[in-house]
Structure 1
Amino acid sequence: MYDMRYAVRNSSWTTGLVVLLGVVMTMLDTTIVNVALGTLARDFHTSLAGIQWAATGYLLAMSMTVPVTGWAVGRFGVRNVWLVSLVLFVAGSALCAAAWSLGSLVVFRVVQGLGGGLLQPVGQMMLAQAAGKERMGRAMSLISVPAMLVPVLGPPLGGLIVQGPGWRWLFLVNVPVCAVALLAALLLLPREAGAGRSERLDVLGLALLSPGLVAVVYGLSEVGDGASLLHPALWIGVALIAAFAVRALRGTSLVDLRLFGDRTFAAAVLALACYSAAMLGFTVLVPLYSQLAAGGSALDAGLLLAPMGVGAAITMPLAGKLTDSRGPRGVGAAGVLLVAASIAAFTLAGGGFVPMFTLGLGHGLVATSVMAAAYKTLAPAAIPAATTLSTITLRVAAPFGVALMAVLLQVFTRAGAAHPFASTFWVAVALAAVTLLPIALIGSGTWRRSSSAPA
Structure 2
Amino acid sequence: MSSAPQSSPSPSIGSLRERYGPRYRWLLLLSVMVGTMASIMSSTIVNVAIPDMSHHFLLGQERAQWVSSGFMVAMTVSMLTTPWLLSRYGYRRTYVGTMLLLMAGGILGGFANNFSLVLIARVAEGLAAGVVQPIPAIIILRAFEPHEQGRATGIFSMGVVLAPAIGPSIGGVLVDLFGWRSIFFMVVPFCIASLWLARKFVPVTAPGGTVAGSDGIGLDWRGLLLATAGTLCLLNGLVALHGGTLQEALALLAGAAFAIAGFILWQRRLGARHGGPLMNLALFSHRQFAMGTIVSAIYGTALFGSTYLLPVYMQLGLQMSASLVGTILMPAGLVLAVTLAIVGRLADRKPTWLLVSIGLAILAASFALMLTVGLGASLWLLVTWAVLGRIGLGFILPSLNLGSMRGLDKSLIPQGSSVINFMRMLGGATGVSLCGIFLEWRLSAHGDSLANATSSPARLAAFNESFLLLAGLCVMAMVAAWQLREPAKAAPAEGH
Q: Give the 3 Å change call, closer, same or farther, for CA 445–140 of structure 1 in structure 2.
A: farther
Partner of 2:12: none
Give the stretch that moved more between structures: 266-275 or 288-297: 288-297
Query: In 2, are the aligned partners of 1:223 and 1:403 still within 8 Å (CA)?
Result: no
The answer to whether the Cα contact below 8 Å between 1:281 and 1:404 also exists between their aligned partners in 2 is yes
Q: In the aligned structure 2, how far is the partner of 1:200 from the partner of 1:276?
A: 30
Distance change >3 Å, CA 180–CA 373, structure 1 → 2: same
Query: Distance between the aligned counterparts of 1:37 and 1:409, measured in 2?
Result: 16
**Counterpart of 1:365?**
395
How far the C-alpha of 1:137 sits from its partner, in A, is 2.1
Equivalent AA in structure 1 for residue 439 of structure 2: L
Change (3 A) 1:414 1:176: closer
Alignment pair present for 1:239 and 2:250 = no
Identity of aligned residues (%): 27
Aligned to 2:7: none
Distance 2:351 2:436 in 1: 35
CA contact (8 A) 2:73 2:426 kept: no
| Distance across 2 between alignment mates of 1:414 and 1:56 | 22
Q: Which residue is 2:468 aligned to?
A: 426
CA–CA distance in 1 between the matches of 2:54 and 2:358?
Answer: 45
- Please name the residue that 2:287 is paired with: 263
Please say if residues 31 and 152 of structure 1, whose CA atoms lie closer than 8 Å, have aligned partners that are also in contact: no
**Displacement, 1:401?**
2.2
Please say if residues 293 and 423 of structure 2, whose CA atoms lie closer than 8 Å, have aligned partners that are also in contact.
yes
Alpha-carbon distance between aligned partners in 2 of 1:335 and 1:372, rounded to the nearest angstrom: 15
Q: Figure out how many residues of one structure are paired with residues of the other and give that number.
A: 441
**What does residue range 67-216 of structure 1 map to in structure 2 within 5 Å?**
67-99=80-112, 101-144=114-157, 150=163, 157-192=170-205, 193-194=209-210, 195-198=212-215, 199-216=217-234
For 2:405, the equivalent position in structure 1 comes to 375
- Alpha-carbon distance change, 359 to 53 in structure 1, aligned in 2, over 3 angstroms: closer
Q: Larger radius of gyration, structure 1 or 2? A: 2
Q: Deviations over 1:125-178 (max 9, x none)?
A: 233322343333223334556777855875554342233245443333322221
Q: Which residue of 2 aligns with 1:324?
A: 348
Report the alpha carbon displacement of residue 182 of structure 1 after superposing the two structures with TM. 0.8
Deviates further, 123-132 or 391-400: 123-132
How far did residue 440 of structure 1 move?
1.2
Residue by residue, what CA displacement relative to the aligned partner does 1:281-324 show, whole Å, maximum 9, x if unpaired? 23432233323433333333333333321321221112111111
Rounded to whole Å, the distance in 1 between the matches of 2:225 and 2:363 is 39
State whether residues 41 and 48 of structure 1, in contact with CA within 8 Å, keep that contact through their aligned partners in structure 2: yes
Structure 1 pair 101/19, CA: closer, same or farther in 2 (3 Å)? same
Whichever residue aligns with residue 462 of structure 2, its letter is P
The 8 Å contact of residues 412 and 420 in structure 1, kept in 2 or not, is answered as: yes
Residue 324 of structure 1 aligns with an amino acid whose one-letter code is D
The answer to whether the 8 Å contact 1:32/1:157 transfers is no
* Contact residue 298 and residue 473 of structure 2 kept, 8 A: yes
Partner of 1:452: none
Q: Which whole-Å CA distance do the structure 1 matches of 2:103 and 2:244 have between them?
A: 34
Q: Which runs of 5 or more structure 1 residues have no equivalent in the other structure?
A: 448-455
The CA deviation string for residues 85-143 of structure 1, in whole angstroms up to 9 with x for no partner, is: 11222233334444455555544444333322211122332333223433332233345
Distance 1:161 1:303, change over 3 A: closer
Question: Is 2:79–2:133's contact at 8 Å kept on the other side of the alignment?
Answer: no
